[in-house]
């Protein structure tokens, strides 16, 4: 397990969107999750997501796939902020332990579990309505470190689109 990158933000730092049109955290996406995040202690990322009517699967309840988006985002943020290297989700596994009603806020804590070559393992817990609330979701993910060319070759990325602190 490597230490956090020397430029990783300090605990308490509020994190803005890494991309304004990101469905998970962007502030320009109608119906997006608008996940708010900050750096926690011990190299964790704390993220909050409030479920709205735009996020339903069954009446009054959040869609499971949408909740997985929140975890993908929080885990990606954990990897990106702590390692300061671009990475993409290779695998994401989610346990849904409790229903998440519209109007509730998920408090997610993401942490790095290990790095092996380009593979980065991370996990997160999501609690209902309070950082110490009942555990509603648990996720584990494998991210793969990529060169910045991943985003220019396969996407339409321009260096101005991505977080300025990540060194490609």
Helix ranges (DSSP H) in the chain:
64-83, 149-154
CB of 78 to ligand DCC, least distance (A): 8
- The bridge status of strand 87-96 relative to strand 45-50 is unpaired
118 belongs to the binding site for ligand DCC (CB under 6 A) = yes
Q: Which contiguous run of DSSP H or E holds residue 120?
A: strand 119-128
Residue 109's Cβ-side half-sphere holds a number of Cα atoms within 13 Å equal to 15
Q: Which of 17, 76, 110, 126 binds ligand DCC (CB under 6 A)?
A: 76
Q: Which two three-digit tokens encode residue 147? A: 């060169």
Question: Which x/- pattern over 119-138 shows residues binding ligand DCC (rule: CB under 6 A)?
Answer: x-------------------
Residue number with CB closer to ligand DCC (59 or 155)? 155
Residues within the interface to ligand DCC (CB under 6 A): 18, 24, 72-73, 76-77, 80-81, 88-91, 117-119, 142, 144, 146, 163, 165-166
């Amino acid at each position: 397990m490597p230490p956090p990158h020397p430029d990783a933000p300090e605990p308490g730092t509020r994190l803005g969107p890494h991309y304004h049109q990101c469905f998970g955290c962007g502030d320009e996406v109608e119906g997006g999750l608008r996940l708010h995040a900050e750096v926690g202690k011990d190299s964790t990322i704390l993220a909050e997501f409030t479920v709205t009517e735009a996020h339903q699967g069954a009446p009054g309840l959040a869609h499971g796939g949408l909740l997985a988006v929140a975890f993908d985002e929080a885990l990606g943020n954990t990897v990106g902020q702590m390692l300061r290297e671009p990475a993409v989700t290779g695998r994401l596994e989610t346990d849904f332990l409790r229903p998440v009603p519209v109007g509730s806020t998920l408090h997610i804590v993401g942490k790095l579990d290990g790095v092996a070559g380009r593979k980065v393992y991370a996990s997160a817990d999501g609690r209902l309505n309070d950082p110490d609330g009942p555990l509603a979701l648990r996720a584990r993910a494998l991210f793969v470190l990529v060169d910045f060319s991943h985003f220019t070759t396969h996407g339409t990325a321009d260096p101005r689109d991505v977080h300025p602190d990540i060194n490609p």
